[in-house]
Amino acid sequence: MTKQEALYQYLLRMGDDSLILGQRLSELCGHGPILEEDIATTNISLDLIGQATLLLEYAGSLAEEPKSNDELAFLRIEKEYTNTLLVEQPNGNFGDTMMRQFLFDAYRKPLLEHLLESTDNRLSGIAEKALKETKYHLRHSSEWVIRLGDGTEESHAKIQAALDALFRYADELFFENEVDAILLKEGIIPSAKVIFPFWKKTVTEVLEMATIDLPKNNWKFKGGREGRHSEHMGFLLAEMQYMQRTYPNMEW
């Protein structure tokens, strides 16, 4: 695998994470628990889709046959997406949505901070822009996890249940393979081993303030990074890709 091929795969990973999570959050537009939160969640969705646009645009320029970001977003089949299983999980209740967002944000923020030092100038530039947004995303999701965990008996039970259900997908955030080895050697990306302590520290501190406990089981679900997705992914893609597949090559 060449450096260009490795970078293409890595950009797809990052872009797919942002795209699929952005799509999930967009489903909540008009369904927020309060008006302010409805607007906040929709704006975070737009931020993530904007990040996906930049990442997939860069990836498309590196493909063997150059592709647009729209082609990569809407015209791949399920097994060609390499997002983590975490981001494709259903919204569930508000606690589920915030816990999924928090576990992802706690990972994405230190990743972007380290990508600022990337030897790839275009990737570091994307990271710089995305980091400003992601700092807000993490603050937002952290505050809600704490508020729900340290709130009523019902909210505490629901956010604990959300963590119990979603934490088994978190390990895949730190997936590494040949792609990472090549890019790490070139100074383009940081090692997952460098990112993990920052993620763990954030998660530990926030959960402690939220008075909720890490699950005691050691289940670890994975497969998304290698194109093996949960049963939810096909339904998500069917909705997300509908317009482009119904009216091929359409443009606004």
The H or E element that residue 140 is part of is: helix 121-149
Mean pLDDT over residues 200-209, rounded?
Answer: 97
In this model, does residue 30 exceed pLDDT 90? no
Closest CA to 219 of 170, 184, 177: 170
pLDDT at res. 252: 66
Over the stretch 34-86, which tens digit does the pLDDT of each residue have?
777 878 899 999 999 999 999 999 999 999 899 999 999 999 999 999 999 99
In this model, does residue 31 exceed pLDDT 90? no
In this model, does residue 175 exceed pLDDT 70? yes
Mean predicted lDDT score pLDDT of the chain:
95
pLDDT at res. 194: 97
pLDDT at res. 216: 87
Phi, psi of 231 (to 5 degrees): -65, -15
CATH of domain 3-218+225-246: 1.20.1260.10
| Residue 204 token pair | 């530990």
Q: DSSP characters for 43-96? A: HHHHHHHHHHHHHHHHHHHHSSS---HHHHHHSS-GGG----HHHHS---SHHH
pLDDT at res. 240: 94
